[in-house]
Structure formats: structure tokens, C-alpha cells
Amino acid sequence: MSKAFTRETDNDSDDQDDGAALPPLPAGGKNYITPAGYARLRAELLQLMDDERPKVVEAVHWAAKNGDRSENGDYIYGKKRLREIDRRIRFLTKRLEIAEVTDPAVHHGRDQVFFGATVTYAESSGQERTVTILGIDEADSAQGQVSWISPIARALLKGREGDVVRLVTPAGAQEVEILEVTYPAPGS
């Protein structure tokens, strides 16, 4: 049988970073991140490189010894998983290289909104919401965290308690009032 029929595809799309999972950084923008977010990304990178990748390499090596690779599910899955791990390692390495660690605790006690602030605001409908402004690699909307490049964060940044700011969304513009601004205490 020809090698062309048994060889895995070398599709370049497999080697591209998984940047679709997270929004891209603004052109010329910085990758702001909190010390805790940086530590989480670094821990994930080290866990992938020191623990998960060696285990998958060992499994692929074992599966390769079992003969016909074209019908060997362990080998095929292992190679696919290895590509996913390598893609994530490249992504994390690039993001950590350009990360600018910013500690929000330096603003503790201030009433102006900067990176790392937890902001409670009231929408024009009267509904109150609380968000924490974090880096794009660490924000989790399910936990009330938003990226510093999100529309709400951009509207709130540089505002102060009591200010009314204009939030532009696809549904239209609305005004929101900043009710409270808090930062983590130094050393926490």
C-alpha cells in the first residue's frame, strides 16, 4: 500500500494557535494581566509541558509499537491530542511573553476605575450589576469578570464613583452610573 494512503495529513490549520478561543489583542495593545492570572497561565503551561505532554508522548510511543498505525485508535488519538497540547503550549508561551503584569492592589482605596477594579454600576433600567475588569486571558463572564477590552470595561475605565458614562452596544447606546469601585487589598 502506498504511504500516501496511510500518512496523516499535515494540515497547516492544525498548527495554528487557538486564538479563536479568546479575542485577539488590540493592534499595538498590551496584554494586561493580574499576578494571579499570570500565575494560573504559567501553572497551566508547566503542567502541560512537565506532566501531560510526556504522558501522551509515552502513550503514542507505545501505540506506535503495536503495528498498523492507520487503524490504531490509540496512536491516532494520541497524535491528535499531542497536536492540541503543542498548540496550547505555543499559545500560552506567546501570551506569557507579551504579558504585562499589573497589580490592581496598588489602586486600593481609590474611587477611579482602572484595570483590576470591581465596579458596581446601575443601568438606565435601574438594574445593578457588578463586574471585575481583568485581562483577556483570565476574564470569565460566568463569574462576573470582563476583559479590559470589552465595551462595558472601556466605558467604565477612568470613570469615578458617581459618574455617568455612555455604554455603546450593538443594541444601542445607554447610560450607566458608576455606584462603587473597589480593589483587592495589598498582599491579598
3-state secondary structure 63-100: HHCCCCHHHCHHHHHHHHHHHHHHHHHHHHHHHHHHEE
Domain boundary among the residues 47, 75, 101 is at 101
Residue 2 belongs to some domain of the structure: no
Are residues 144 and 79 located together in one domain of the fold? Answer: no
Predicted pLDDT at 170: 85
Predicted pLDDT at 188: 61
Predicted pLDDT at 17: 46
| Mean pLDDT (10-residue bins), the chain, 188 residues | 45 45 63 93 96 92 80 86 95 92 90 94 91 93 92 93 90 92 84
Predicted pLDDT at 76: 87
Residue 188 belongs to some domain of the structure: no
Are residues 32 and 55 located together in one domain of the fold? Answer: yes
Containing structural domain, residue 131? 104-182
Residue 170 belongs to some domain of the structure: yes
Distances in Å between the Cα of 118 and the Cα atoms of 12, 39, 54, 175, 179 are: 41, 20, 40, 19, 11
pTM above 0.85, yes or no: no
